[in-house]
Amino acid sequence: MSGEGLGGVVPSEKTRFTLVLLLGAAGAGLVVFAVRQGWAQAVFTPPHPLPAEDIFVTGQQLVPLASALALAALACLAAVIATRSAARRAAGVLLAVLGAGAAVAAAAGVTAATVLSAARADAATGALGGSTTSGTSPGGAAHGIVIAGSASRAVITGAPWQAAAVCGGAAIVLAGLATAWRGPGWPVMSARFERPGQSRTRVRLPDSAAMWESLSRDVDPTKDLEDAAPKDVADAAPKDLEDQRGGGASG
């Protein structure tokens, strides 16, 4: 028994298409947003009287591949919109692969060693993601020297953001699988502006010179158009010819 027979509403293919695109875009956006948050904190404790250093490390620093694959998935969504048939199915498969890669990259183990390594790299370049406990942050080479001679430990704080990035990757996978399954039946760009049943036949209207020549020989210039054109074009032809007559008379 169909959903309509049970009183339910069956979504159209256009609605499914829109929902899948929104799902994929939301998943990619969630991955990009989540990896830009702080996932860990590196704490460096130098000898007294130097202040301790707390450096926040983002997911982008730890798993840069996840955001790169999410951005690629957004580009793949554009390909889903622009393609049709087998090409759209292939784009859906690629979208699912990109989503799986982003989820796996985000779920990769974030260890204390990777956190401390990323923090030291930022300290060496002066691009710090956090602040010091004393409120001041020595920059450049001096900052690197202070950290190099300090005891260090890592505090993993970004488990919720890591889980959000994995969920975003899973959403991209679902969007890709839905596209590979139902994509060939969804609307395509070139068909958006065509009325159902509209013929693709194009009839060339006569120019002003040919029209006046036909009138001088007492021949109806619209006769051939009515025979060759589809109904919707034939109905519009007399109005177009009247406009051309008016333009020729005024000239």
- Examine the pLDDT at 95 and tell me if it is beyond 50: yes
Mean of the pLDDT values across residues 184-211? 60
pLDDT per position as a tens digit, 69-82: 999 999 999 999 99
For residue 128, what are its two tokens? 């710090």
**Is 119 found in the same domain as 44?**
yes
**Is 171 found in the same domain as 71?**
yes
**Is 144 found in the same domain as 59?**
yes
**Is 212 found in the same domain as 125?**
no
For residue 153, what are its two tokens? 């430990």
**Is 42 found in the same domain as 144?**
yes
- Examine the pLDDT at 186 and tell me if it is beyond 90: no
**Number of structural domains the chain divides into:** 2
User: Which residue do the tokens 């069956």 mark?
Assistant: 10
Mean of the pLDDT values across residues 215-234? 60
Mean of the pLDDT values across residues 190-204? 50
- pLDDT at position 7: 44
For residue 81, what are its two tokens? 């919109």
Mean of the pLDDT values across residues 49-68? 86
**Quick check: pTM over 0.75?**
no
User: 247: which residues sit within 8 A by CB, 6+ positions away?
Assistant: 208
State how far the Cα of 125 lies from the Cα of 110, in Å rounded to an integer.
22
- Give 120: exposed, middle or buried? Use CB within 10 Å, 0-12, 13-18, 19+: middle
Nearest Cα residue to 149 out of 112, 126, 123: 123
For residue 220, what are its two tokens? 């109806």
